[in-house]
Amino acid sequence: MSKKIDLHIHTNKSDGDFSPKEIINQAEERGVMTIAIADHDTVEAYTQDLFNYAKSKNINIIKAVEISAKNNKVGVHVLGYNIDINNRELKNKLYSLRNARHKYLYDVSTKLNELGYEVNVEELDKIEAVTKAHISRNIIENKNNKELLIKNFNHIPKMGEFIESIMNEGCPAYVKKETITPKEAAKLIRKAGGKVILAHPVAYQYEDGLSDVEVMKIIEEIEADGIEANYIYIDRNNNKINEIEKWRRIAKDNKLIVTLGSDFHNRDGIRPDIGLINEQIELSDQYIENVLDNLLKDCSK
Report pTM: 0.85
Who contacts 184 (Cβ-Cβ below 8 Å, separation ≥6)? Answer: 69
Q: Which of 31, 19, 85 is nearest to 58 (CA)?
A: 31
pLDDT-derived band at 298 (thresholds 50, 70, 90) equals low
Sign of CA dihedral 141, 275, 228, 37: positive
Mean pLDDT of all residues belonging to the chain: 94
Mean pLDDT across 272-287 = 93
Residues recorded for the chain = 301
**To the nearest whole percent, how much of the chain has pLDDT over 70?**
98
- Give the tens place of pLDDT for each residue, 12-21: 999 899 999 9
pLDDT reading at 1 higher than 80: no
Whether the Cβ atoms of residue 121 and residue 106 lie closer than 8 Å to each other: yes
- Give the tens place of pLDDT for each residue, 167-215: 998 999 999 888 899 999 999 999 999 999 999 999 999 988 999 999 9
Who contacts 94 (Cβ-Cβ below 8 Å, separation ≥6)? Answer: 41, 42, 43, 65, 67
pLDDT-derived band at 156 (thresholds 50, 70, 90) equals very high
- Give the tens place of pLDDT for each residue, 30-61: 999 999 999 999 999 999 999 999 999 999 99
pLDDT of residue 300: 46
Cα separation values, 244 from 236, 237, 259, Å: 19, 20, 11
pLDDT of residue 280: 86
Who contacts 217 (Cβ-Cβ below 8 Å, separation ≥6)? Answer: none
Max avg pLDDT among 93-102, 232-241, 284-293: 284-293
pLDDT of residue 236: 80
Mean pLDDT across 81-104 = 94
Whether the Cβ atoms of residue 23 and residue 9 lie closer than 8 Å to each other: yes
Who contacts 29 (Cβ-Cβ below 8 Å, separation ≥6)? Answer: none
pLDDT of residue 297: 81
Give CA–CA dist 43/50, Å, rounded.
12
| DSSP characters over 70-126 | E-SSSEEEEEEES--TT-HHHHHHHHHHHHHHHHHHHHHHHHHHHTT----HHHHTT
Domains and CATH numbers, the chain: 4-85+186-296 (3.20.20.140), 94-167 (no CATH)
pLDDT-derived band at 126 (thresholds 50, 70, 90) equals confident
pLDDT-derived band at 301 (thresholds 50, 70, 90) equals very low
